[in-house]
Structure 1
């Protein structure tokens, strides 16, 4: 079995493998979108002679971590034909993908797991809890009567100038919001191909965009796909716009972050909520990641040992000095109790703020001096991430 980047001559085989292994066959715009990402991604194939029998795509994306933008590899469309399973093909594809991401400078990787335990084995970890909500008409929020300055468009009836303002606004927030992803033209095109019926509503204050939503209305359900606002006033204006559809819709559905006090200021916030954990993250290159990391208060030199059997380039002891400079040191120069020792999955979840330092140490089951825990707590930002993109 040979693992290498798929040549354009074999892209048809990637389509056939995806269509066979996933529940819905792509046609029309979705097939066109998938082909675009085959071309743009690092597309790996497992070959049995000239036949592609396994595949994995590394999408060239980005993610903001505590205000710093990192190149990110989005893992997607991982599959093998059933007659080739249980032969270690996916393991080889994942191992090759990690090397390719490091070569590409993709310091972080994100994926949507079909099995958490499967991808945790390769070093990925959960890092965001999505709150899916359904608000029946009887519990629609009432935020008073006010004339808000709103503009509206859709993919079908596009306003090019307004759309450019939406894209600029979205990316200006994504580059600073923890867990945000800047959307390039290819990603916006992907959204259009996958949801051509989307509408946009944009809220203006003093001729400036302060918020927008992207949504669909189908079978009496108002589905919010994007809800992006700069402040609380914009959030209230958006909800006034949404609930102005009360005569024609029976419920509102959407997704937000579980750590956000969603609906707190609604008069009746007791509607259906469901928490889902369906995204995982992994640091691919620990040294490069920590070199960019926005450390907070480092009062004494920090030391950490990383365990990462699938990325041996990460298996070192690292020191971070008071200026945030990172170096690799000899393993026997610091005792175990005076440093953190973490597997890569827990390190990744801790560094992006999903797990606290104390929680991480407990899950790692590594005895660590309380003083060391306190030093790391002061050094790390504590904001939790929110990642809403899907691939």
Structure 2
């Protein structure tokens, strides 16, 4: 069994394996989209002679972490034929994927797990709680009457200038929003192929685009797919626009962050909400990640030991000085009370703000002095991430 980059001559085997292992067979636009990402990703195959029996795609993406843009490897379409399972093939694919991402400079990785415990074993960790909401017509937001400037378009009836403005606005917001992902034209094309019936509504104030939504209306339900705003006024204007569909829809559905006080200012904020944890993150290269990291207040030298069974290059002791300079040090010290010691999954969740330092230490079961925890907490930005993309 060999793990190799899949040859273009074998791309048909990737389609075949995906269609067998996933519940929905791709056709037409979905198949075209999948083929594009086979071509433009790092596509790994497990070969039994000339037959591809397992696969994994590393999509070349990006992610904003506390205001810093990182190259991100999006792991997707992990599959293996049933007769080849329980042979360690997926483990070899995941191990090779980590090495490839490091070689590609993809410092962090995100995936949507079919099993949290399975991917946690390889070093990924939960980092975002989505809130799925369903608002019945009787609870539609009523934010008063106001003449808002809203421009509409759809993928079917495209307004090129408006679409360009929406794309630029989305990326400007993604750069400053923790967990945001900048979308290039290929990603927008992917969205169009997967949701060709999407509509757009953009809110303008004094001639400037201040927010937009992407949505679809299906079976009397207004499905919010993107909801990106620059400020509270734009948010209210978008909700007024959505509620104006009350004569033709009976529900509004969408996704937001669980840490956001969603619906707080609605007159009737009690409606169905469900928390879902379906994205995980991993730092692939600790040294490179911390070199870019936007450290906060560092009052004393920070020291951390990283445990990482699948990335030997991460298993070091690191020091961060008061200027945020990161270095790898050699030490035989067993004084764990004065040094943070974390497995890579908890380190990853802590550094992106999902876990506090205290929580990470508790879950790691690593006793440490309170003042060390306090020093680390002041050094880390506290904002929680929000990641809505799907792959």
> What TM-score do the two structures reach when normalised by structure 2?
1.00
Q: Which residue of 1 aligns with 2:185?
A: 185
Note the C-alpha offset of 1:335.
2.3
Q: Which residue of 2 aligns with 1:261?
A: 261
Deviation per residue, 1:27-57 (Å, 9 max, x gap): 0000000000000000000000000000000
Q: Which residue of 2 aligns with 1:163?
A: 163
Could you tell me whether the CA contact under 8 Å between 1:224 and 1:254 is conserved in 2? yes
Q: Which residue of 1 aligns with 2:122?
A: 122
Q: Which residue of 2 aligns with 1:102?
A: 102
Counterparts of 2:331 and 2:117 in 1: how far apart (Å)? 30
> What TM-score do the two structures reach when normalised by structure 1?
1.00
Deviation per residue, 1:321-356 (Å, 9 max, x gap): 000000011122572211100000000000000000
Deviation per residue, 1:182-219 (Å, 9 max, x gap): 00010000000000000000000011000000000011
Counterparts of 2:146 and 2:309 in 1: how far apart (Å)? 58
Q: Which residue of 2 aligns with 1:284?
A: 284
Could you tell me whether the CA contact under 8 Å between 1:63 and 1:72 is conserved in 2? yes
Task: Tell me the secondary structure at the aligned position of residue 60 of structure 1.
Answer: strand
Note the C-alpha offset of 1:128.
0.1
Taking the TM superposition and a 5 Å limit, the aligned residue runs for 1:1-391 are: 1-333=1-333, 335-391=335-391
Could you tell me whether the CA contact under 8 Å between 1:340 and 1:368 is conserved in 2? yes
Could you tell me whether the CA contact under 8 Å between 1:155 and 1:197 is conserved in 2? yes
Q: Which of 332-341 and 65-74 deviates more?
A: 332-341
Aligned residues: 391
Counterparts of 2:339 and 2:187 in 1: how far apart (Å)? 41
Deviation per residue, 1:207-237 (Å, 9 max, x gap): 1000000000011000000000000000000
Counterparts of 1:337 and 1:219 in 2: how far apart (Å)? 59
Counterparts of 2:303 and 2:53 in 1: how far apart (Å)? 43
Tell me, which stretches of 5 or more residues in structure 1 are unaligned? none
Cα RMSD for the two superposed structures: 0.6
Tell me, which stretches of 5 or more residues in structure 2 are unaligned? none
